[in-house]
Chain A
């Protein structure tokens, strides 16, 4: 496996379900990100982890709970979601993390989430 991988690629869940999205990066990067991509809207940054520490929570509702056990893995735990949470959830990683001016982000393929 190379780059940034995400599982599952598609997920359909009811509003009372609990599920988790997984991201793994094989690039040796130190920063990882969760984004939400909805139709006709810019990518919305949700969470940032630098060296396994959460450094940004962009006013995300508590029904989304991130977890970063090590610098290669990132999870997004989902519970009691709403239909408006249906979107493409993208994971990204970057080499240097905080205060690295020239840092660039590399994205995974995303998980297409549908909340019924």
Chain B
């Protein structure tokens, strides 16, 4: 079993839709959770960063962590074609700087 599971997609939605991206994990020691966005031919860029359980909102993006279910989500409201990218979840334990990544979900927002 992989430490972090993420559906690779592709996920195709119409412009304006609400997008839900998810990851599950098996290591209960993970405490810090991140979402990265990666455009084609670019490196990943940090989108959201959360600690422990709860929600965090930043503009059209909401990150949600449910540690009891070992499940994290990223919601994108009013999706735009510019949101088309691969979204990577990443997480780490309290110590050290080693990140564990999901495989990434490819999202396409169509006009």
- A residues in contact (CB < 8 Å) with B: 4, 6, 31, 40-43, 45, 48, 50, 56, 90, 92, 94, 96-110, 112
Contacts and interface: CB of A to CB of B under 8 A. Distances in A.
B45 A105 contact: no
Given A90-B43, A107-B43, A109-B42, A42 B101 contact: yes
Interface residues of B, number: 28
B81 interface: no
20 contacts: A31-B97, A42-B4, A42-B100, A42-B101, A42-B102, A42-B104, A43-B88, A45-B99, A48-B97, A90-B44, A96-B97, A98-B96, A100-B97, A101-B32, A104-B49, A105-B97, A107-B36, A109-B41, A109-B42, A110-B42
Given A40-B8, A42-B4, A43-B88, A107 B45 contact: yes
Nearest to A38: B103
Nearest to B34: A104
Interface in B62-111: 88, 90, 94-104
Q: Which 6 A-B pairs have the closest CB atoms?
A: A107-B43, A42-B101, A43-B101, A109-B43, A107-B44, A103-B97
Most buried by A among B44, B97, B100: B97
Nearest to B39: A109
Contacts of B90: 43
Contacts of A102: 32, 51
B46 interface: yes
A31 B36 CA distance: 19
Interface string B21-53: 000000000011010100001111110010100
Contacts of B36: 107
Given A40-B8, A102-B32, 19 more contacts: A31-B97, A42-B100, A42-B102, A43-B88, A43-B90, A94-B97, A99-B96, A99-B97, A100-B97, A101-B31, A101-B32, A101-B94, A103-B97, A105-B99, A107-B36, A107-B45, A108-B43, A110-B42, A112-B41
